Copies of this chain bind each other. A is one copy, B any other.
Amino acid sequence: MVNLLYLPLAAGVLSLFFAFYKFKWVGKQSPGNEKMIEISSAIKDGSMAFLKQEYKVLLLIAVAVAILVTLPERGFLKLVALSFGVGALFSGLAGFIGMKAATNANSRTTEAARQGIVPALRVAFNGGSVMGLSVVGLSIIGLSGLMIIYTKFFGADIVSLNDTVIPILSGYSLGASLVALFARVGGGIFTKAADVGADLVGKVETGIPEDDPRNPATIADNVGDNVGDVAGLGSDLCESYIGSIIGAVTLGGTIGNAELVYLPLIIAGLGVIVSMIATAFVRTKEGGNPQSALNFGTIGAAVVMVIASAPVILFLAPKTFIAGGQTYTNMGIFYAIIVGLLSGVLIGIITEYYTADGKKPVLDIARQSQTGAATCIISGIEKGMLATGLPVVMLSIGIYVSYLAAGLYGIAFAALGMLATTGIQLAVDAYGPVADNAGGLAEMAQLPAEVRERTDKLDSVGNTTAAIGKGFAIGSAAFTALSLFVAFKEKAGIEVIDVTKPIVVCGLLIGGMLPYVFSSFVIGAVGRAAFKMIEEVRRQFRELPGILEGTDKPDYVSCVDIATQAAIKEMVIPGISAVVIPVIIGYAAGPEMLGGVLVGVTVSGIMLALFMANSGGAWDNAKKYIESGNYGGKGSEAHKAAVIGDTVGDPFKDTAGPAMDIVIKLMTIVALIIVGNIS
In the complex, are the beta carbons of A399 and B505 less than 8 A apart?
A: yes
Whether A420 sits at the interface, judged by CB under 8 Å, is no
Q: Which residues of A567-605 have CB atoms within 8 Å of chain B's CB atoms?
A: 595-596, 599-600, 603-604
In the complex, are the beta carbons of B595 and A499 less than 8 A apart?
A: yes
The one of B382, B393, B595, B644 in contact with A372, judged by C-beta atoms closer than 8 angstroms, is B644
| Distance from A42 Cβ to chain B, minimum over Cβ atoms (Å) | 27
Number of copies: 2
Whether A320 sits at the interface, judged by CB under 8 Å, is no
Interface centre among A500, A600, A651 (most CB of B within 10 A): A500
Q: Which residue of B lies closest to A513 (CB)?
A: B392
Q: A392-B510, A534-B371 are in contact. Are A502 and B644 (CB under 8 A)?
A: no
Q: How far is the CA of A374 from the CA of B647 in the complex (A)?
A: 6
Q: Which residue of B lies closest to A404 (CB)?
A: B502
In the complex, are the beta carbons of A524 and B607 less than 8 A apart?
A: no
Q: Which residues of A654-677 have CB atoms within 8 Å of chain B's CB atoms?
A: none
In the complex, are the beta carbons of B503 and A400 less than 8 A apart?
A: yes
Interface residue total, chain A, C-beta cutoff 8 A: 75
Residues of B within 8 Å of A81, CB to CB, are none
Q: How far is the CA of A403 from the CA of B651 in the complex (A)?
A: 40
Chain A 361-384 per-residue mask, 1 if CB under 8 angstroms from chain B, else 0: 000000010011111011101111
Whether A288 sits at the interface, judged by CB under 8 Å, is no
Residues of B within 8 Å of A396, CB to CB, are 505-506, 509-510
In the complex, are the beta carbons of A527 and B378 less than 8 A apart?
A: yes
Q: How far is the CA of A392 from the CA of B513 in the complex (A)?
A: 7
Q: A377-B648, A403-B502, A517-B386 are in contact. Are A604 and B497 (CB under 8 A)?
A: no
Residues of B within 8 Å of A379, CB to CB, are 524, 527
In the complex, are the beta carbons of B644 and A377 less than 8 A apart?
A: yes
| Distance from A498 Cβ to chain B, minimum over Cβ atoms (Å) | 4
Q: A392-B509, A478-B509 are in contact. Are A500 and B527 (CB under 8 A)?
A: no
Known: A497-B500, A505-B599. 4 other contacts (CB 8 A): A375-B530, A392-B509, A496-B498, A600-B603
Residues on A lying within 8 angstroms of B by beta carbon are: 200, 368, 371-375, 377-379, 381-386, 388-389, 392-393, 395-397, 399-400, 403, 408, 411, 478, 482, 485-486, 489, 496-500, 502-506, 508-513, 516-517, 519-521, 523-524, 526-527, 530-531, 534, 595-596, 599-600, 603-604, 606-607, 611, 643-644, 647-648, 651
